[in-house]
Amino acid sequence: MTDFDVVVVGAGRAGTAAAYRLAQENVDVALVDRARQPGMKNVTGGVLYGEVLADLVPEFPEEAPLGRHVVEHNVQMLHDDASIGVSYRDPAIREEPNYTVQLGEFDRWFVRKAEEQGATFVPETTVRGVEQREGHAVVATDRDGGDITCNAVVGADGVNTTVGRTTGIRDPVQPENVGLSVKQVIELDRKTIDERFNLRSGEGTAYIFAGFPEGAPSVGYFIYTFESTISVGAVGNMATLQTYGDQGYDGQGTPLYDLLTRFKELDAVRPLVRGGVAQEYQGILVPEFGYDDLPNRHEGRVCLVGDAAGLVLNKGFTFRGLDFGVESGIRAAEAAMQCRKRGNWNAFGERYDALLGDSYVMDELRQHSRLPSFLENERLYEAYPAVARETLKQTFSSEGDASGLTWKHALTALRRQDVGVRDLLADGWRAFRSV
């Protein structure tokens, strides 16, 4: 006899969603985490696209420790101290349950909800490995006599997943498939945030920036608003940081925290962060896979969900991952319920993969399968921002050349950046195919 039907390793959104859904159906489930309390080791924060969570926990908008209700998105392309951007605010999306969240607080709430459903939370427990044996699986932990037997294991233990590596499902992550994210949590009073970002009480906004330093692909920045803080951060692909680290940016190298400091000093950013007091400095690794190079995510009685399965999508203008984790956790729970009903757990991983394959998560990743390679195009971060800046300068500056038409200014700027019409058409076609 096993200790539990299912052991979930990792109490983030993906793992807790799996445990919550299983406990709803009276499946005996343990949620194992190395921290003393949920969320202690989670420094992530961002925008939670909450529709899938609202289907699972309808009361979450009223009960969960959320930041602000996101009503506006801003995308800014940088070139030196100039910025060119698009702001999107639409009453049509105002009622969608999308919120900024600091996930340390959120995870504590979510695990409590899973416990209320009947899940067993096992804190301060580090998983050393997972072994599949005849008729069951064994989760080895650092507790005295701490091996836990079960019928199936859900690995929700992040980008460096122990479950994935010790079962042979995942190889060690490579630099090109992982990003480093660093951020500062900056204290500002509520009134200042409302006025500075043109928000009403409780409303929030999300900013995404790219193009700094010039020509550096896969490096971006974000600003998210909370009640009385803002989070300001940078994300950089590890392979990019290594490559450009050898060359250096302006001879200063590429530590990401240095880029974040310099980013905050830009003319387009300084007015948004001025006067704030830094409360925290945090860093975390995030997966960066395209659909075509997603890692394996199952074998026998074991499956991987969320970041452990590489289920994150960088669209360039927004990041999707928090909701992908919740959805993948739910699909893992559904696979476990099917196996329990049939009395056969050997195909748990395959059932999970089939259910995930029919989900909106894989639809999104498939649809944007060409996007990661497109976003590596250096012209997007150097030549095109320079062209846009020069063209707009001619358009709006009183010193602009009034004798020329806008398209002529743009063509001249393209030539200065050594971008031919063929390059422009090819990049435009790739952009269309990517989205």
Give residues with Cβ within 8 angstroms of 26, minimum separation 6.
Answer: 118
Backbone torsions φ then ψ of 323, nearest 5 degrees: -75, -30
Same domain, 424 and 297: no
Does 53 fall in a domain? no
User: pLDDT digits over 92-124, tens only?
Assistant: 888 899 999 988 889 999 999 999 999 999 999
User: pLDDT digits over 207-229, tens only?
Assistant: 999 888 877 778 899 999 999 99
Does 249 fall in a domain? no
- Give the residue, 321 or 29, on which the prediction is more confident: 29
Same domain, 106 and 11: yes
Same domain, 329 and 400: no
The torsion defined by the Cα of 298, 302, 307 and 310, in degrees rounded to 10, comes to: -10
Does 129 fall in a domain? yes
Same domain, 38 and 161: yes
Domain C-terminal end among 338, 368, 398: 368
- Give the residue, 361 or 423, on which the prediction is more confident: 361
**pLDDT band at residue 255 using 50, 70 and 90 as cut-offs:** confident
Same domain, 359 and 299: yes
Give the residue from 338, 358, 186 showing the smallest Cα distance to 260. 186
User: pLDDT digits over 123-163, tens only?
Assistant: 999 999 999 999 999 999 998 878 999 999 999 999 999 99
- Give the residue, 329 or 435, on which the prediction is more confident: 329
| CA atoms of 100 and 107, how far apart (whole Å) | 14
User: In angstroms, what is the C-alpha Rg of the chain?
Assistant: 23
Per-residue tokens: 280: 């925290």
Same domain, 135 and 158: yes
Does 65 fall in a domain? no
User: pLDDT digits over 376-408, tens only?
Assistant: 777 777 877 877 777 777 777 666 555 556 666
| CA atoms of 275 and 193, how far apart (whole Å) | 11
- Give the residue, 411 or 136, on which the prediction is more confident: 136
The torsion defined by the Cα of 101, 103, 108 and 114, in degrees rounded to 10, comes to: 80
Same domain, 325 and 406: no
Domain C-terminal end among 368, 401, 421: 368
Does 414 fall in a domain? yes
Does 430 fall in a domain? yes
**pLDDT band at residue 249 using 50, 70 and 90 as cut-offs:** low
Domain C-terminal end among 368, 390, 415: 368
Adjacent-strand bridge partners of 2? none
Does 187 fall in a domain? no
Same domain, 420 and 339: no
Please give the average per-residue pLDDT across 45-70, as a whole number.
91
Same domain, 396 and 362: no
Overall number of domains in the chain: 2
- 333: helix, strand or coil: helix
| CA atoms of 336 and 188, how far apart (whole Å) | 45
Same domain, 427 and 296: no
Please give the average per-residue pLDDT across 63-82, as a whole number.
91
pLDDT at residue 231, rounded to an integer = 93
pLDDT at residue 405, rounded to an integer = 61
Same domain, 22 and 156: yes
Backbone torsions φ then ψ of 276, nearest 5 degrees: -85, 155
Give residues with Cβ within 8 angstroms of 125, minimum separation 6.
Answer: 32, 33, 34, 141, 142, 143, 146
Same domain, 9 and 107: yes
Structural domain of 314: 4-43+101-173+292-368
| CA atoms of 406 and 114, how far apart (whole Å) | 58
Does 324 fall in a domain? yes
Phi-psi region of 316 (alpha: psi -120 to 50; beta: other; left: phi over 0): left
**pLDDT band at residue 80 using 50, 70 and 90 as cut-offs:** confident
Is the pLDDT at 198 greater than 90, yes or no? yes
In this structure, what DSSP letter does residue 12 have? S
- The pTM assigned to this predicted structure is 0.91
Give the residue from 283, 236, 243 showing the smallest Cα distance to 259. 236
User: pLDDT digits over 5-57, tens only?
Assistant: 999 999 999 999 999 999 999 999 999 999 887 765 555 668 889 899 999 99
pLDDT at residue 26, rounded to an integer = 96
Is the pLDDT at 74 greater than 90, yes or no? yes
User: Residue 142 is part of a domain; what is its CATH number?
Assistant: 3.50.50.60
User: pLDDT digits over 273-314, tens only?
Assistant: 999 988 888 888 889 998 999 999 999 999 999 999 999 988
pLDDT at residue 247, rounded to an integer = 64
| CA atoms of 141 and 124, how far apart (whole Å) | 10
